[in-house]
Chain A
């Protein structure tokens, strides 16, 4: 990364600037890939950009930074994403 030699204070882009925000989570979104119809609604509405979109429009959830807001589960039309309490015994 290019560093700038200037007098003012500059912040540089970094993944996880506020640490691993995944530990804020209470409910964990779980994606059922068989039910997913690749509409990408979860991807566009995720406020944290933690749903990664692949070339074939399939999606994955980045649990390291997911804050667990549950918007993905709420906007999913086919209920392919469900919320499960963190640390629940199977």
Chain B
């Protein structure tokens, strides 16, 4: 599939409240293209609740319901049950939450919905911080990263949501990145026709939160995959397949780039380079990623 094959229809309307260079709207456009107009979206408190713009107008041409922070998956379960009772089985129900609403606050509702076998798609766009409320640390923030609540760098490693989701043994789960729109589109298309709970996580580098220039959003996404900090894979009925660049890294056909190539362009890691290079902490990040790939190879190759 090439970019040319993606549909021309647009359900995202220009003139929203998103920051310039926002990865969430970039991902939303592809999600709308893949799922089509017959979709209902549930949005908890996250950047997207702001991007929607102010009442009485909205920038999304798709029915969207706003709900409390922890209740994205619970709300989606309710909407899906309502449609089921009315006999409207052709509507795709999508819960669209940020990493705060997935990793930390919404994990209980999400786990419950996956366990109940709710027929919906849960999409998490992961920008590794609570960027909507002003860059606080979340469970997805990597080790050493600056946020307003971890001023000298986070001292813990991020959790692996992909593996937590896999433990629910759902029909379809995937990890994608905004820098690879064809891959994301293909995964969404595949998810659309499967019955049961489906989970897709999208890596979304946030310019104001990660402190990099707004034109570099796509480049940061590409680098995240090339350095191995983020893996592109999909899980269908417990069978894990790696895609694209991550497949080559997994099979050892290409070496993953050193993590320094990625983090030195981000202001949130600046304290690791200035005034003195903090070799110990950079190595800790590198080792953590090495361990992650080691685990992947042992389990899925």
A90 CB–B CB distance under 8 Å = no
B55 partner residues in chain A, CB cutoff 8 A: 9, 11
- Please give the distance in Å from B216's CB to the nearest CB on chain A: 7
The digit string for B6-27, where 1 denotes a CB below 8 A from any CB of A, is 1010101111111011110110
CA distance A40 to B12 in the complex (A): 18
Please give the number of chain B residues whose Cβ is less than 8 angstroms from any Cβ of chain A in the complex. 38
List of B residues within 8 angstroms of A44 by Cβ = 3, 6, 29-30, 181
Shortest Cβ distance from residue A24 to the other chain B in the assembled complex, whole angstroms: 6
Is B104 an interface residue when CB atoms closer than 8 A count as contact?
Answer: no
Picked from A50, A53, A74, the residue with its CB within 8 Å of the CB of B14 is A50
CA distance A58 to B57 in the complex (A): 30
* Cα–Cα distance between A45 and B23 once the two chains are bound (Å): 9
Asked if B214 is at the interface of the complex by the 8 Å CB criterion, the answer is yes
Interface centre among B60, B215, B216 (most CB of A within 10 A): B215
Q: Does B61 contact A (CB under 8 A)?
A: yes
Report yes or no: B56 in contact with A12, Cβ–Cβ below 8 A: yes
Residues of B within 8 A of A24 (CB): 20
Find chain A residues with CB under 8 A from B30 CB: 44
Given the contacts A18-B53, A49-B12, A70 and B215 also touching, CB distance less than 8 Å: yes
Q: B59 an interface residue at 8 Å Cβ cutoff?
A: yes
CB-contacts of B1-55 with A (<8 A): 3-4, 6, 8, 10, 12-18, 20-23, 25-26, 29-30, 52-55
Given contacts A13-B60, A47-B22, contact A71 B217 (CB under 8 A): yes
Contact with B along A17-32 (1 / 0, CB 8 A): 1111100100000000
- B218 in the interface (beta carbon within 8 A): yes
Instruction: List the A side residues contacting B60 at CB < 8 Å.
Output: 13
Contact with B along A37-77 (1 / 0, CB 8 A): 00111011111111001000100001011011111011100
Decide if A87 is an interface residue (CB 8 Å cutoff): no
B294 at the interface (CB under 8 A from A): no
The answer to whether A47 and B26 touch across the interface, beta carbons within 8 angstroms, is yes
Q: Which of B4, B15, B54, B55 has the most CB of A within 10 A?
A: B15
Contact B53 A15 (CB under 8 A): no
Tell me if B215 and A47 are in contact (CB < 8 A).
no
Shortest C-beta distance, B173 to chain A (Å), equals 24
A27 closest partner in B (C-beta): B215
Known A-B contacts A40-B3, A71-B215; the reply to A53 vs B8 at CB < 8 A is yes
CB contact under 8 A between A74 and B20, given known A11-B56, A65-B14: no
Contacts of B18 in A (CB 8 A): 47-48
Minimum CB–CB distance for A81 against chain B, Å: 11
CB distance from A63 to the nearest CB of B (A): 11
Residues of A with C-beta under 8 A to B218? 45, 71, 74-75
A14 with B58, Cβ < 8 A, contacts A47-B26, A48-B25 known: yes
Contact indicator A40/B25 (Cβ below 8 Å) = no
Given contacts A17-B58, A71-B217, A74-B216, contact A47 B25 (CB under 8 A): yes
Given A18-B53, A71-B218; 11 other pairs, CB 8 A cutoff: A13-B58, A17-B53, A17-B58, A21-B15, A21-B16, A47-B26, A47-B217, A48-B18, A49-B13, A53-B8, A70-B21
9 contacts between A and B (CB under 8 A): A11-B53, A13-B60, A17-B17, A17-B53, A18-B16, A70-B21, A70-B214, A74-B218, A75-B218
